[in-house]
Amino acid sequence: MVSEEEISEVAKLMKINLEDHSDHVKRVQKMLEYFDILDNANIESEEIIVQETDLGKLRDDKYIPYDKNLLKFLKSYQEKYVKAPKLN
């Protein structure tokens, strides 16, 4: 089970402002129930196919700095964090 206190603590760690933590308890509990279903799925008899990729075919990992003026185009941000829309 997930408690309201756990939701509150996770929200604080993630720097998310939640008005009512009790709304999220049911949602998180439902997600955990789905994970339990996946954990209990019998997949031992299934063959796992692995596709290898040559490292030369991957893209180069390059650092590209972002334009600092980008923040003024965002609809909603708080300090250096972008505020995402609420999920239903």
- Do residues 59 and 53 make contact, with C-beta atoms less than 8 angstroms apart? no
Instruction: Quick: pLDDT tens for 13-57.
Output: 888 887 777 777 888 888 889 999 988 888 777 788 888 888 888
End-to-end Cα, the chain, rounded Å: 21
Distance CA 19, CA 71 (A): 25
Identify the pLDDT of residue 71: 66
pTM over 0.75: no
Distance CA 78, CA 14 (A): 13
- Do residues 18 and 41 make contact, with C-beta atoms less than 8 angstroms apart? no
Does residue 88 register a pLDDT over 70?
no
Q: Which residue has the higher pLDDT, 67 or 71?
A: 67
Copy the structure tokens of residue 12: 């604080």
Q: Mean per-residue pLDDT for 64-73?
A: 73
